[in-house]
């Protein structure tokens, strides 16, 4: 999932990283190379931190049983609360008796890797993947300076959630296959609902998760890296094209009042449940159904169509990774745990089978698609085309200071011309992403 990092922690972490040295802007983490073999963990206990609310007790138990059967080791699970979790992880990694394996939000891995707190698992990664192509949106943020510091655990992505009745009443009876069909459908819905407080598609102007999809779909990037240096890239022609498309879509199909709002204020699930929009870009249908259970059976989902025929827009892929504490005395066993959690059996049986999360590779998504509901299939399909956020500890600053929200909001409202907004934000990106160099 997308993890919110307090600004104070981001600043503190940057100071720690800046003092560590090293060509990648941080301390060099020791490599973990040998995966514990069958039966080698007898009499040993591995401590694993999981986050509250991510995996169910049943899913965790299934992974742990498989690990114990494979190694003979037992697992001591400690469930952590979200409040101030990144400070707690930072403290734990600095101690001599840290947890062996820690669940970390995928976009946060670089923050802890840069301090030298996580083991480099690049060597055994291919063995752990066991022929799978891990999703770029999960492993990309965990890859710092070309080295991998965490293995993917599960994915969470965004797809279009729409109200079938509103669509059918407007004469739209099937989800679109192309972007042109999509906008034509929204035009029909907009014409059928001319009220100024109704959005054919509610896409708040500060909702950067939606905005970056347009940038990536046009071939643009948030930032590029040359050697050890990051450079903001929103002034590129491709990114500019994506930003123009974003503004046109947002201004055309979402209300004027939404242009300077984030998706949580007001909650876009409530906007949808109240019938004030026909569609939103969301990570699931659960929040909508919790507000209005009577919508069950009236919802549909599909990946947001891309500008190129036959494609979907690339998504910001949230989710979690599993990392090994560099000071763990059980490196081989910890690698074995990561291998278990990323295995086909655990991913199909526990991650997708029990909890309904999207598994971590395109192959596993295809393998589990037949058992998923029609509503969930759209999310899995969307996950197959993802783009990673910059794997820099400075990304914590970008997430915490809400500058991405303000950037897209300024474009949507017209407060800043797109070239001017991009130029200013590129400067901020470049400074933040290189702060630890």
Over residues 236-268, the pLDDT tens digits come to: 999 999 999 999 999 999 999 999 999 999 999
- Report the distance separating Cα 277 and Cα 295, nearest Å: 13
Q: Which long-range contacts (CB under 8 A, 24 or more apart) does 174-182 make?
A: 175/300, 175/302, 176/302, 176/305, 177/305, 178/305, 178/309, 178/310, 179/305, 179/306, 179/307, 181/305, 182/304, 182/305
Please provide the DSSP assignment of 349-371 as one string.
Answer: IIIITTT--B-SBHHHHHHHGGG
pLDDT at 14 over 50: no
Model confidence at 318, in pLDDT bands (50, 70, 90)? confident
Model confidence at 210, in pLDDT bands (50, 70, 90)? very high
Picking from 272, 324, 265, 318, the residue whose alpha carbon sits closest to that of residue 128 is 324
Helix axes 208-217, 403-413, angle to 10 degrees: 70
Q: How far is CA 154 from the centre of its chain?
A: 10
What integer is the mean pLDDT of 212-232? 96
Per-residue confidence (pLDDT) for residue 5, from 0 to 100: 38
pLDDT at 9 over 80: no
pLDDT at 152 over 80: yes
Residues with Cβ < 8 Å from 224, sequence gap 6 or more? 230, 231, 233
- Report the distance separating Cα 358 and Cα 366, nearest Å: 10
What integer is the mean pLDDT of 208-218? 98
Each residue of 21-48: pLDDT tens digit? 333 444 567 788 889 999 899 999 999 9
pLDDT at 310 over 80: yes
What integer is the mean pLDDT of 120-130? 94
What integer is the mean pLDDT of 389-417? 94
Model confidence at 16, in pLDDT bands (50, 70, 90)? very low
Structural domains of the chain, ranges and CATH numbers in brackets: 7-156+317-387 (3.40.190.10), 159-315+402-433 (3.40.190.10)
What integer is the mean pLDDT of 269-289? 96
What integer is the mean pLDDT of 103-130? 94
Each residue of 160-197: pLDDT tens digit? 999 999 999 999 999 999 999 999 999 999 999 999 99
What integer is the mean pLDDT of 209-225? 97
Per-residue confidence (pLDDT) for residue 27, from 0 to 100: 52
Per-residue confidence (pLDDT) for residue 28, from 0 to 100: 63
Per-residue confidence (pLDDT) for residue 400, from 0 to 100: 87
| Phi–psi pair at 203, nearest 5 degrees | -130, 90
Average pLDDT score over the chain: 91
Each residue of 92-103: pLDDT tens digit? 999 999 999 999
* CA-based end-to-end distance of the chain: 27
- Report the distance separating Cα 97 and Cα 92, nearest Å: 8
Per-residue confidence (pLDDT) for residue 13, from 0 to 100: 37
Model confidence at 373, in pLDDT bands (50, 70, 90)? confident
Per-residue confidence (pLDDT) for residue 369, from 0 to 100: 87
pLDDT at 15 over 60: no
What integer is the mean pLDDT of 137-141? 92
Per-residue confidence (pLDDT) for residue 25, from 0 to 100: 42
Q: Which long-range contacts (CB under 8 A, 24 or more apart) does 56-64 make?
A: 56/354, 56/355, 58/350, 58/354, 58/355, 59/350, 59/351, 59/354, 59/355, 60/350, 62/346, 62/349, 62/350, 62/354, 63/340, 63/341, 63/346, 63/350
Q: Does residue 126 or residue 13 have the better pLDDT?
A: 126
- Report the distance separating Cα 52 and Cα 247, nearest Å: 37
- Report the distance separating Cα 401 and Cα 4, nearest Å: 10
Helix axes 237-253, 403-413, angle to 10 degrees: 70
Per-residue confidence (pLDDT) for residue 436, from 0 to 100: 61
- Report the distance separating Cα 380 and Cα 368, nearest Å: 9
With beta carbons less than 8 A apart as the criterion, state whether 168 and 416 touch: no
């Amino acid at each position: 999932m997308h993890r919110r990092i307090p600004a104070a922690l981001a600043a503190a972490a940057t100071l720690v990283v800046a003092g560590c040295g090293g060509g990648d802007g941080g301390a060099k983490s020791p490599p973990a190379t040998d995966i514990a073999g069958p039966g080698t963990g007898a009499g040993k206990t591995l401590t694993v931190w999981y986050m509250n609310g991510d995996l169910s007790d049943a899913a965790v138990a299934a992974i742990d049983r498989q690990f114990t059967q494979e190694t003979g080791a037992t697992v001591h699970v400690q469930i952590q609360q979200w409040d101030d979790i990144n400070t707690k992880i930072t403290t734990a990694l600095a101690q001599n008796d840290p947890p062996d394996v820690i669940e970390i939000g995928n976009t946060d891995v670089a923050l802890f890797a840069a301090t030298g707190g996580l083991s480099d698992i690049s060597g055994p990664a291919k063995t752990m993947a066991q022929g799978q192509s891990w999703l770029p949106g999960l492993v990309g943020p965990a890859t710092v300076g070309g080295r991998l510091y965490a293995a993917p655990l599960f994915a969470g992505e965004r797809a279009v959630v729409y109200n079938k009745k509103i669509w059918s009443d407007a004469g739209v009876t099937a989800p679109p296959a192309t972007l042109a069909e999509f906008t034509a459908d929204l035009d029909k819905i907009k014409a059928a609902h001319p009220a100024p407080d109704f959005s054919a598609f509610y896409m708040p102007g500060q909702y950067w998760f939606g905005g970056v999809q347009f940038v990536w779909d046009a071939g643009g990037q948030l930032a590029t890296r040359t050697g050890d240096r990051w450079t903001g890239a929103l002034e590129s022609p491709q990114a500019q094209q994506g930003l123009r498309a974003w503004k046109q879509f947002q201004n055309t199909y979402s209300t004027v009042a939404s242009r300077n709002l984030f998706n949580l204020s007001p909650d876009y699930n409530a906007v949808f449940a109240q019938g004030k929009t026909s569609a939103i870009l969301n990570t699931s249908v659960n929040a909508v159904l919790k507000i209005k259970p009577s919508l069950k059976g009236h919802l549909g989902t599909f990946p947001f169509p891309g500008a190129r025929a036959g494609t979907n827009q690339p998504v910001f892929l949230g989710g979690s990774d599993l990392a090994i504490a560099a000071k763990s005395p059980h490196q081989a066993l910890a690698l074995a745990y990561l291998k278990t959690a990323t295995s086909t059996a655990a991913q199909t049986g526990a991650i997708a089978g029990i909890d309904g999360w999207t598994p971590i590779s395109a192959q596993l998504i295809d393998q589990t698609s037949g058992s998923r509901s029609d509503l969930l299939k759209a999310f899995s399909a969307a996950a197959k085309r993802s783009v990673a956020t910059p794997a820099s500890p400075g990304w914590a600053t970008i997430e915490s200071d809400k500058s991405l929200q303000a950037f897209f909001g300024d474009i949507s409202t017209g407060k800043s011309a797109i070239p001017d907004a991009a130029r200013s934000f590129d400067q901020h990106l470049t400074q933040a992403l290189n702060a630890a160099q």
